[in-house]
Structure 1
Amino acid sequence: MITYRDARAIDGPKLGAMARQSFTETFGTLYRASDLAAFLDEAFGPNGLPAQLSDPDFAVRLALDGEEIIGFVKMGPVTFPGEWRPDAIELYQFYVLAPWQGQGVSQELMAWSLEHSRSHGAKEVILSVYVDNARARRFYERYGFEEIGRYAFRVGETLDDDRLMRLIL
């Protein structure tokens, strides 16, 4: 049975490992091993995602199958370059492991992220998505997200072509 709860600092190591697994299974073939390793260490190592679990600027919701973290979504202040509304919020990461995709986990996590955004006074949600991640783009578009620009997403020394998307709440 899949359950959902807010992440706690103690979840850091397991969440970091799950995020590494999910990113690697989705994008691992796109990068040199050194670039992938550098990104995974920075984003999901002890000073990355796990450290943000105790930062009050960030909120992370977990999806669990028993004790196993199978998905998560992270929300926080907008950090993309440019001018953003003060009542904007960023959807940073939205990961669901492959065996649980298509099982309703993504819909539950998205429902939480939109409710979290509204309850914290946000009027828009901003995210970036890899240009060739058609499945994710279609998912966001179903919720009303629209492309608003481009963003160079760094993975090690590789710069990916991401699209910025926005949902007006």
Structure 2
Amino acid sequence: MLRIHQATHADIEALREVGCTTYREHFAPIWSPAGLQAFLDRDFSHDALRRSLALSDSQLWLLASDDSAQVVGLAKINWSAPAPVTGETGAELRKIYFLKAAAGRGYGKQFMQFICERALQRGERMVWLTVLKSNPDARRFYEAFGFKQIGEIPFKTDLADIGLDVMRLELKPLGE
């Protein structure tokens, strides 16, 4: 069973560690070593995480732990963010990363359900995200969860011009 909690300033080191590890595991090939380090410094440095956690009215960081209390994943949600292409406002699932060792255990589905429930509690009507065009496994996961593609936007690293698919999931309050 996945245990999920809202990250606080006390969790900065766990966020940094799992963020850097998971990003390297999944995305290192699309960056040069220097480009990867620059990305990690921008998104997962202690200062960047401290600033982001201070924006608790507009952002939410979550940590996911397994039965042995090991942190195996994280998520970052931006509340009431306008989606590219449509401009429709909803919860942006900015990051959802799991350690490769935690794959295949149903954690992604549990985490997505938790995120959607939190978004509904905040009054969000949809969740949107971007996924690398070069990541068909993630795209299939989101589609299986009910996300639909609504467009494409550019994205490039210091090595490649990859592009992103923009996907959305309409949220339905319980009882509808």
Q: Determine the structure 1 residue equivalent to 2:62.
A: 61
Does 2:133 align with 1:131? yes
Note the C-alpha offset of 1:84.
Answer: 2.2
- CA distance 1:48–1:96, change in 2 (3 Å): same
Q: Determine the structure 2 residue equivalent to 1:121.
A: 123
Note the C-alpha offset of 1:160.
Answer: 3.1
Q: Kindly provide the amino acid, as one letter, of the partner of residue 130 in structure 1.
A: L
Deviations 1:42-75 (A, max 9, x none): 0111233443223211112211134432111211
Deviations 1:116-149 (A, max 9, x none): 1111111111100011211110110011111111
Map 1:26-45 onto structure 2 (within 5 A).
26-45=26-45
Does 2:46 align with 1:46? yes
Q: Structure 2: state its 5+ residue gaps.
A: 172-176
SS of the equivalent of 1:163 reads strand
**How many residues are treated as equivalent by the alignment?**
168
- CA distance 1:20–1:155, change in 2 (3 Å): farther
**Distance in 2 between residues matched to 1:147 and 1:115, nearest whole Å:** 21
Fraction of identical pairs, as percent: 29
Q: Determine the structure 2 residue equivalent to 1:160.
A: 162
Contact 1:89 1:124 in 2 (8 A): yes
More strand by share: 1
Q: Determine the structure 2 residue equivalent to 1:9.
A: 9
**Distance in 2 between residues matched to 1:12 and 1:50, nearest whole Å:** 7
TM-score (normalizing by structure 1): 0.88
Equivalent position to 2:73, from 71, 74, 87: 71
TM-score (normalizing by structure 2): 0.85
**Distance in 2 between residues matched to 1:105 and 1:111, nearest whole Å:** 10
Note the C-alpha offset of 1:83.
Answer: 5.3
Question: How large is the Cα RMSD of the aligned pairs?
Answer: 2.0
**Distance in 2 between residues matched to 1:112 and 1:152, nearest whole Å:** 29
Equivalent position to 2:87, from 84, 88, 102: 84
